[in-house]
Structure 1
């Protein structure tokens, strides 16, 4: 019983640690609306640009069930566009989304 409790506590602490570090990282102005890098994923775009996940998946033309962990470098390579072009695409969509929110 004690080992089950300690295991559950360890898992809860692990999730709490990651939630806190993500919140601190993505609320730092230096980490908002950054240029996209090949190692980033759609989830990173959702968090750093503060966009809804369905919007990002639609923007990147991804299947929400199959392409969740695809790296943006691979995505750009498959679409034959540069990372700069992908960044511009995301930033333009972000600006349009934010204008619609006002």
Structure 2
């Protein structure tokens, strides 16, 4: 209690820093556990998936995949494959085929 009375700003800053460290540490551990699960690696493409999700699942560059699918770089918007198809006015199967072609090309480069 003495420390808090003598240095309230310092103790408050320390508590905030500790809270932030705990928050980001737990978040990192959760994401690591999620992506280490084999069920989330190299998943078959689904309409609900975003280019970023696909990139995490397949370990490819998400920005390159988004560019390949014609998605403008907007960090606020995360369109799904279904949304991309609707915006482009093409069938969903076409967008999925384009994404699969990108993944196949990238997989060949990694081997």
Taking structure 1 as the reference length, the TM-score comes to 0.77
Provide the residue aligned with 1:41 in structure 2.
50
Q: Which has the higher contact order (CA 8 A, sep 6+)?
A: 1
* Alignment equivalent of 1:16, drawn from 14, 19, 25: 25
Please say which structure displays the higher CA radius of gyration. 2
| CA distances 1:30-89 after superposition (whole Å, capped 9, x unpaired) | 112223242x3332121111101332122222233x25632213222212322x543333
Q: Is the 8 A contact 1:46 1:52 kept in 2?
A: yes
Aligned residues: 99
Q: Which runs of 4+ in 1 moved over 6 A?
A: none
How far apart in 2 are the matches of 1:14 and 1:86? 37
From 84, 87, 94, give the equivalent of 1:75: 84
Partner of 1:31: 40
Pairing of 1:55-66 with structure 2 (within 5 A)? 55-64=64-73, 66=74
The answer to whether the 8 Å contact 1:33/1:91 transfers is no
Matching residue of 2:99: 90
Gaps of 5+ in 1: none
CA RMSD of aligned residues (A): 2.1
